[in-house]
Amino acid sequence: MKKMWWIIVAALLVLLGALFVFKYTQSSQKQEVGACPFFNSISGVTFDDFARSSPYYVRYYASDNVTKYPAYTSMDGHKVTLTRIGHSEDYNFTMTSVNNKQVVSETKTVYSVDENSKKVKKYGVWQDFHIISFKNQSYALIYFCIPPNDGVHEVYRAIMSVSLDNDLAEPLAEDKDYNFTQGLYELPYKYREFYS
């Protein structure tokens, strides 16, 4: 009877060990695919708050050079200040015009200024970014992620004045390959096409 008890205890310990290894492996894999620290700490609201609130809608955009970006009007060459969350440094990116549509510059590069030399240095390259737009209003929030140089992802935010075209409310094409960057902002499917 005592031997049977020890066998049961040993089996339970093995089971607990296997469960721990499984959980650790899962969490490691989530970090490896590059998931950014998410939006819950930004602006005092959670992403779910945006997603559940009519008339907001959510769109995803890929980082390839083929994807059509939304048409912002009167934004050609306009510089937008990006504030790194939790820091005071400011960064800029430029909207450029391609085929009469406003798109993000294909370089997708964010720059920072070296305070010692006052020279601009390359800081990081955009991998993917997220736009939350407010229908029939004149601004949008842009969140995007910079891949880590030191193991820590950088999350940025931009608030810009834009004119939103009506076709922004149309769903993403089911048959189009948007080439999402692996792991970045991979939310449940319903959040990719959320409409009021």
The 10s digit of each residue's pLDDT in 75-110 is 222 333 222 222 223 333 333 333 333 333 333 333
Burial class (CB in 10 A: 0-12, 13-18, 19+), 143: buried
Is 135 within 8 Å of 125 (Cβ atoms)? Answer: no
Structure tokens at 39: 């939006």
The domain locations on the chain are 1-32, 37-191
3-state DSSP assignment of residue 27: helix
Is 23 within 8 Å of 15 (Cβ atoms)? Answer: no
Please state the pTM of the whole predicted model: 0.21
CA neighbor of 56 nearest in space, from 64, 46, 71: 46
Does residue 16 have a pLDDT over 50? yes
